[in-house]
């Protein structure tokens, strides 16, 4: 095998992987958020779950993406562990479609398909047409890469060193380990199966040797979901255990069948095309494993619970969400529909928790002023540090999603609004700290507010708490909900104006000291700004409702 063959192999592999990613991205962009919404509305019917899991995987061309979605939904409580079982089974069936597409003998038309796809992207400006062009270009490039790999590997049939290596694949354990390791590295069973098909087409590997590598590839694809579950809750981790159990059980069953029955010979007799043989075995593996395990879906869920039992020590919601946000980007940089759908739900949950913490701090800061009680100051400071940390994590997280999710209009628009909400929540926390800091001056200078001023501070506390609670408890009618919050914000503005006038009147009557007057004026400014940020949050949420 000459240097040109190696270069051709690398170039073909690059085109193959790029074409697969391009086609997958095009399909995901065309699908928008529809796939996510289908999963969200999933019932507990096992057969419907399998169909939905298979259908979504066929559309987005990635069982890993579908499984990552399931992990995220289980983590956020939107899906039960048992529902995830059926989604995972369906995803394993759906992923076999890619291999069947590769097995089609359309290499002659691949350059034409790629050209038409690129032409749609370059010469037409409509986003929907761009999605179709991306799918076509990706499919064409995939087949061109496949052809290059197959051609470049032809000399390997006569290379003794490579033939000796491939012979070892006939050992079930070696074949399974090689398949699992390779798929874990490239994080795509569809791509690794395609490369195996290219080896078979070039005559380097036969089906009896390839089957064990194929089974290992099914195990290797679980790595993506495992990475996605890092930092998630126990239920999400159990979802990845179910995914792993499914493929390990299937591998054990089919390894025994291939060793002790004529299954491999039968699959060879069905078609003489090596690529089709591997595609068919891949399809049979996942369909048969699903059929065998359908009656035992509940047992799989129970086994996952036993493998990962509940901890005695619990983790706070904030810690869970922060860890989940960071973990999501350990999926190998993938930002397609599967990951993006999960990201949006984790982001929503994290930001709602952030607004709640900001609201709690606002309530505490007023209590500090009213009671002159400094015991709450450490809690306020600690919560403010948490809010700052959450805002920083969210900002980094959102920038990564947007940079990798360009072109997905609705999803990006919603995520940008979540970014704005995070900033407004953090600013509410800052104003809460400003208010609590006034206690230092109050205690040092022995400042006492008049009874009228104290009453007004209590009323500020009540209205801000009511407004923030309203933000967290959204009505079904978003227009009416936004109108109510806008009315509260206007009330805060009116109260600020009235209190300021009353404050000037008390100054004229000499009912408050100069220091008290300055502090009360500053407090009113923070009060009004909090109302502004609450309305900003509500307006962003309202836009998200429209996008969804």
What was the pLDDT predicted at 35? 57
Q: What is the pLDDT along the chain (548 residues), one digit of tens a residue?
A: 578 777 887 888 788 778 877 876 776 666 555 655 666 565 557 788 888 888 877 766 667 667 777 776 776 666 778 888 888 898 889 888 877 877 776 666 778 888 999 999 888 878 778 888 988 888 788 778 877 876 776 676 666 666 677 677 778 898 899 888 888 877 677 777 888 888 888 787 888 988 999 999 888 888 767 766 665 667 778 888 888 999 999 999 999 999 999 999 999 999 888 889 999 999 999 999 999 998 888 888 889 888 888 654 433 443 444 444 444 444 444 444 445 555 666 778 888 889 999 999 999 999 999 888 788 899 999 999 989 988 888 887 777 766 654 444 445 677 788 889 999 999 999 999 999 998 888 888 888 888 888 899 999 999 999 999 999 887 656 788 889 999 999 999 999 999 988 888 888 887 777 778 888 889 999 999 999 999 999 999 888 876 55
Sign of CA dihedral 184, 187, 190, 191: negative
**Given this structure, which CATH class describes domain 320-547?**
mainly alpha
What was the pLDDT predicted at 228? 62
User: Mind listing the pLDDT tens digit for each residue in 276-305?
Assistant: 999 999 999 999 999 999 888 888 888 988
What was the pLDDT predicted at 363? 92
Q: How many residues are present in the chain? A: 548
| 201 in Cβ contact with 103 (< 8 Å) | no
Closest CA to 263 of 195, 217, 207: 207
**Dihedral pair phi/psi, residue 477, rounded to 5°:** -90, 100
Quote the tokens at residue 44: 């507990």
Quote the tokens at residue 207: 């089906």
| 447 in Cβ contact with 438 (< 8 Å) | no
Helix and strand element counts for the chain (H, E): 24, 0
What was the pLDDT predicted at 338? 47
What was the pLDDT predicted at 469? 92
**467 vs 236: CA distance, rounded Å:** 34
Contacts of 216 (CB under 8 A, 6+ apart): 175, 176, 177, 178, 179, 180, 181, 183, 251
Closest CA to 221 of 153, 275, 285, 274: 285
Contacts of 127 (CB under 8 A, 6+ apart): 407, 409
**192 vs 190: CA distance, rounded Å:** 6
What are the residue boundaries of the structural domains of the chain, listed by start?
Answer: 3-307, 320-547
User: Over pLDDT 90: what percentage of the chain?
Assistant: 25
Quote the tokens at residue 353: 């928790």
**492 vs 70: CA distance, rounded Å:** 43
């Amino acid at each position: 095998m000459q240097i040109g063959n190696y270069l051709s192999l690398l170039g073909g592999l690059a085109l193959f992987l790029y074409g697969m990613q391009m086609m997958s991205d095009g399909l995901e962009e065309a699908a928008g958020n529809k796939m996510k919404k289908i999963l969200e509305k999933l019932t507990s019917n096992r057969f419907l779950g399998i169909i939905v899991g298979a259908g979504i995987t066929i559309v987005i061309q990635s069982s890993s993406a579908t499984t990552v979605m399931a992990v995220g939904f289980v983590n956020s409580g939107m899906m039960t562990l048992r529902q995830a079982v059926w989604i995972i089974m369906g995803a394993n069936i759906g992923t076999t479609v890619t291999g069947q597409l590769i097995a089609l003998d359309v290499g002659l038309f691949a350059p034409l398909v790629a050209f038409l796809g690129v032409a749609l992207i370059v010469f037409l400006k409509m986003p929907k047409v761009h999605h179709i062009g991306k799918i076509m270009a990706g499919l064409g490039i995939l087949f061109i890469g496949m052809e290059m790999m197959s051609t470049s590997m032809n000399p390997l049939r006569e290379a003794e060193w490579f033939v000796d290596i491939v012979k070892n694949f006939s050992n079930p354990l070696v074949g399974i380990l090689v398949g699992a390791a390779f798929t874990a590295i490239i994080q795509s069973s569809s791509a690794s199966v395609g490369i195996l098909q290219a080896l078979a087409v070039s005559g380097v590997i036969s089906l009896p040797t390839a089957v064990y590598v194929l089974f290992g590839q099914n195990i290797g694809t679980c790595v993506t979901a495992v990475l996605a579950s890092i930092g998630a809750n126990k239920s999400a981790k159990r979802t990845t255990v179910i995914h792993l159990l499914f493929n390990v059980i299937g591998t054990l069953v089919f390894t025994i069948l291939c060793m002790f029955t004529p299954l491999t010979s039968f699959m060879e007799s069905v078609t003489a095309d090596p690529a089709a043989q591997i595609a068919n075995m891949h399809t049979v593996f996942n369909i048969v494993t699903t059929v065998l395990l359908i009656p035992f879906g509940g047992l799989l869920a129970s086994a996952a619970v036993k493998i990962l039992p509940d901890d005695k020590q619990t983790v706070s919601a904030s810690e869970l969400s922060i860890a989940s946000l960071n973990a999501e980007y350990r999926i190998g940089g993938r930002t397609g529909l599967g990951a993006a759908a999960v990201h949006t739900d984790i982001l929503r949950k994290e930001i709602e928790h952030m607004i709640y913490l900001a609201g709690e701090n606002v309530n505490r800061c007023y209590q500090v002023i009213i009671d002159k009680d400094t015991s709450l100051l450490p809690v306020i400071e600690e919560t403010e540090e948490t809010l700052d940390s959450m805002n920083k994590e969210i900002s980094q997280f959102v920038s990564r999603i947007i940079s990798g999710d360009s072109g997905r209009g609705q999803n990006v628009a919603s995520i940008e609004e979540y970014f704005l909400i995070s900033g407004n929540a953090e600013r509410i926390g800052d104003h809460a700290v400003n208010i609590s800091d006034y206690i230092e001056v109050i205690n040092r200078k022995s400042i006492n507010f008049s009874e009228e001023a104290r009453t007004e501070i209590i009323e500020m506390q009540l209205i801000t708490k009511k407004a923030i609670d309203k933000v967290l408890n959204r009505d079904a009618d978003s227009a009416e909900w936004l109108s109510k919050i806008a009315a509260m914000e206007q009330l805060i503005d009116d109260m600020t104006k009235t209190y300021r006038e009353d404050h000037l009147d008390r100054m004229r009557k000499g009912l408050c000291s100069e220091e008290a007057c300055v502090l009360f004026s500053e407090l009113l400014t923070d009060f009004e700004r909090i109302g502004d940020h609450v309305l900003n949050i509500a307006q962003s949420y309202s836009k998200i409702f429209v996008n969804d």
